[in-house]
Structure 1
Amino acid sequence: MQRYTKESVLAKALYGEVLLAVDNVTGMKVAIKRMNLDAATSRTSIHGIPIAEDIGMEKQVNRAVSNGKDGCHPHIMRMLRDFEEDGMGHFVFEFCSGGELFEQTLPMDTMTVAKVFRQVVNAVHFIHSRGYVHRDISLENVLLDANGHAKLCDFGLATTIDERSTHIVGKAFYMAPEMYLRHGYMPAPVDVWALGIMMLILLTGAPPFARANDSDTVFLYVKQHGITSVLRAWKVLHLIPLPALDLLEKMLAVDPAKRATMHDVMHHPFLREDLHLVSLRGRKRMIVRKWLAKMRRRLHHMLRNVLPSMKNAPGVVGL
């Protein structure tokens, strides 16, 4: 750690803590994930609680996506180096001063959602192309740099893309329904589901249900009628442009065999269209909806005032 000057503790971590520090060689601010190696090796937190985080896999994935032959991805938080010292493991990352996506004001406008979500989707697609799956995609695991660019991070629950898994991991809001069935699942569709939940939260400000299993009545309704029906019932459908709604339905298909693939998501019109046009259409729909609502109120008011007098008029029958 002699190369770095600690400035503050950014967060507590399962195996240790995350530090804000200055690299004395480059002068750059960095984030250092500092982990107790005994706890990490035994897969228990520093308080002795068993956990699923695997720092070996985390290191492997970070190296693969940060220092591969094609270089680092612009929307993945880059690991600059890693080392061990005095019984502690250290991952040194670029510092993202914008904080977590979770901390941003929600819901976001359509144009911002399309921009940020496109960046996250590109990052996930890159990870999949390298043979890994994240399995813990969430607003908390997307950071923003000083320019507002999204950076996917935290690969402690990652696995290889072709390895069938039985592990129930991730955050409850984002976990795919097949995880709860205990029949085993292929991991790539799990990332697509989590992306769908993330996109929905960005657009509406809230997750659609607590967990994607049959113990949750809202999930059961989605399972039977689709996500559009729930959004209509909640009266938030107007917040979501049609291309985004179509993408949500495809990403949140309960059956993983019918769910959109990462290739489908990458090439969907919502992410391929000009962002200004997506936003403009969303604003136009809002204007039209408000105008129609105003006209309906005026018509209702007019009929309420006119019809009583018409009922007493000669020749008017059945009103």
Structure 2
Amino acid sequence: MATAGVGAALLDKENVGALGGKALEGKGALGKRPLESGSGGADAKLPRKSALQPLSANVVAGSAGSAHSGSAAKPLSSAAGSMGPPPPRAATSGRGASEAGAVPAARERPASGGAAAARRWQLTDFDIGKPLGRGKFGNVYLAREKKSMYIVALKVLFKNQLQQSNVEHQLRREIEIQSHLRHPNILRLYGYFYDSNRVYLILEYAARGELYKELQRAGSFDERRTATYIASLAKALIYCHSKHVIHRDIKPENLLLGLNGELKIADFGWSVHAPNSRRKTLCGTLDYLPPEMVEGSYHDSAVDVWSLGVLCYEFLYGQPPFEAAGHSETYKRILRVDLRFPADPARSDGAKDLIKRLLVKKPADRLPLEQVLQHPWIQANADPAVLARAT
């Protein structure tokens, strides 16, 4: 695909489809916990790393050739505006000036239903603040929409890196799925736009950052906090599955915390919209892979139930349940469902019972998400406000 073609391809919803079984270089078949051969041999596993690392560069710096390279970045703090969605505009935004000629500031297209015209987003609509994180394909920045003063997170993806890793179709699918989801425990994708070099995603700002870093600092979470997170995730996944969306990569690195500590699913890069509910692509992260994926069998939404069990274990004990010295040994433990509960930290029988009901080899025998919310341990420990919420 030509350099200018990534943004245009985002508009082609007919191209949004399955991965077709192809492993992606960007995340790899095993996700963001990289596996490589090292001093320990072919099965050696590298230390686990956070999906986002600190940045010192600014999005505006070094942007020669961009339509907005002359825009000056302004200092910005999270307190400098209201957190929330920017005013609605056309969801599929136009090219930057360097790609399609000069774009007038008032360029508009009629909105649906005869409503007032909605101008397309561009980088000059935002004040760019501090970097929030970095990934393989680009960076995330704190940003403020100038007119409304709303605080958002601006994810900047570099087209050449997307093309080199052949993941344009994955980005299209991620945008198509996440932009249509509305749930308090799912990070909102408000819109996107692009120029000749980059694609920009306008995302909800999660003020308290990555859950994985919080887990690293704490070592593990207590039962009340864990139960609240699991109940929140169960509700979010029930919602996703009702929309025929399978997430397929639930793990701490893909979860953020909102201003009040509420959990947000933030990464839908491996998600699929699968009305037939049968997929065969190996994807996700090694420690979270369910047995059916390890075996190369067809899988359905029950993979998210398995991941919820792994997550519950990791929250309570500080490490995944099937972790081993090498990834081949991890595969074996997953296939055997070799579940062991360490004596330290001490956890209740109720917590262990829920985990054992979720980590079941046969997908059909895993505890349904609706019953997760009714489990006695969840009922006794989760925040009542979360349990009482309709969704």
TM-score, length basis structure 1: 0.73
Matched to 1:235, the amino acid is A
Counting only pairs closer than 5 Å after superposition, residues 137-286 of structure 1 correspond to structure 2 as 137-161=250-274, 162-186=276-300, 188-210=301-323, 215-216=328-329, 220=333, 223=336, 227=339, 230-231=340-341, 234-236=342-344, 239-273=346-380, 275=382
Matched to 1:28, the amino acid is Y
Query: Do the aligned residues in 2 keep the contact of 1:53 with 1:156 (CA within 8 Å)?
Result: no
Identity %: 26
Which residue of structure 2 aligns with residue 74 of structure 1?
Answer: 184
Which residue of structure 2 aligns with residue 281 of structure 1?
Answer: none
CA distance 1:222–1:31, change in 2 (3 Å): same
Moved more, 140-149 or 157-166: 157-166
Query: Do the aligned residues in 1 keep the contact of 2:228 with 2:381 (CA within 8 Å)?
Result: no
Measured against aligned partners, the alpha-carbon deviations of 1:7-53 in whole angstroms (never above 9, x if no partner) come to 1222222322212212212222211112234543x4xxxxx345698
Counting only pairs closer than 5 Å after superposition, residues 56-75 of structure 1 correspond to structure 2 as 56-65=172-181, 72-75=182-185
| Structure 1: runs of 5 or more not aligned | 43-47, 66-71, 278-319
2:241, 2:306 → 1: CA distance?
Answer: 14
Q: How far does residue 110 in structure 1 lie from its aligned partner after superposition?
A: 1.0
Measured against aligned partners, the alpha-carbon deviations of 1:281-310 in whole angstroms (never above 9, x if no partner) come to xxxxxxxxxxxxxxxxxxxxxxxxxxxxxx
Q: How far does residue 235 in structure 1 lie from its aligned partner after superposition?
A: 1.6
Matched to 1:241, the amino acid is S
2:179 counterpart SS class: helix
Query: Do the aligned residues in 1 keep the contact of 2:177 with 2:273 (CA within 8 Å)?
Result: no
2:229, 2:347 → 1: CA distance?
Answer: 15
Which residue of structure 2 aligns with residue 84 of structure 1?
Answer: 194
Matched to 1:55, the amino acid is L
Which protein has the larger Cα radius of gyration, Structure 1 or Structure 2? 1
Matched to 1:182, the amino acid is G
Moved more, 52-61 or 87-96: 52-61
2:289, 2:167 → 1: CA distance?
Answer: 17
CA distance 1:253–1:28, change in 2 (3 Å): same
Matched to 1:60, the amino acid is E
Higher relative contact order (CA 8 A, sep 6+): 2
Match of 1:99 among 209, 213, 222: 209
Q: How far does residue 4 in structure 1 lie from its aligned partner after superposition?
A: 0.8
Matched to 2:131, the amino acid is V
Which residue of structure 1 aligns with residue 170 of structure 2?
Answer: 54
1:89 counterpart SS class: strand
Query: Do the aligned residues in 2 keep the contact of 1:111 with 1:276 (CA within 8 Å)?
Result: yes
Which residue of structure 1 aligns with residue 115 of structure 2?
Answer: none
Q: How far does residue 223 in structure 1 lie from its aligned partner after superposition?
A: 2.6
The answer to whether structure 1 residue 6 and structure 2 residue 125 are counterparts is: no
2:284 counterpart SS class: coil
1:200, 1:99 → 2: CA distance?
Answer: 21
1:12, 1:51 → 2: CA distance?
Answer: 17
1:221, 1:179 → 2: CA distance?
Answer: 10
2:308, 2:366 → 1: CA distance?
Answer: 12
Counting only pairs closer than 5 Å after superposition, residues 302-317 of structure 1 correspond to structure 2 as none
Matched to 1:175, the amino acid is L
CA distance 1:126–1:276, change in 2 (3 Å): closer
2:228 counterpart SS class: helix
1:216, 1:121 → 2: CA distance?
Answer: 29
CA distance 1:107–1:170, change in 2 (3 Å): same
1:2, 1:253 → 2: CA distance?
Answer: 51
Larger helix share, 1 or 2? 1
2:184, 2:193 → 1: CA distance?
Answer: 23
Which residue of structure 1 aligns with residue 158 of structure 2?
Answer: 36
Query: Do the aligned residues in 2 keep the contact of 1:144 with 1:151 (CA within 8 Å)?
Result: yes
| Structure 2: runs of 5 or more not aligned | 1-122, 385-391
1:111 counterpart SS class: helix
Measured against aligned partners, the alpha-carbon deviations of 1:88-131 in whole angstroms (never above 9, x if no partner) come to 22211111121111111131111111112211221111111111
2:246, 2:320 → 1: CA distance?
Answer: 22
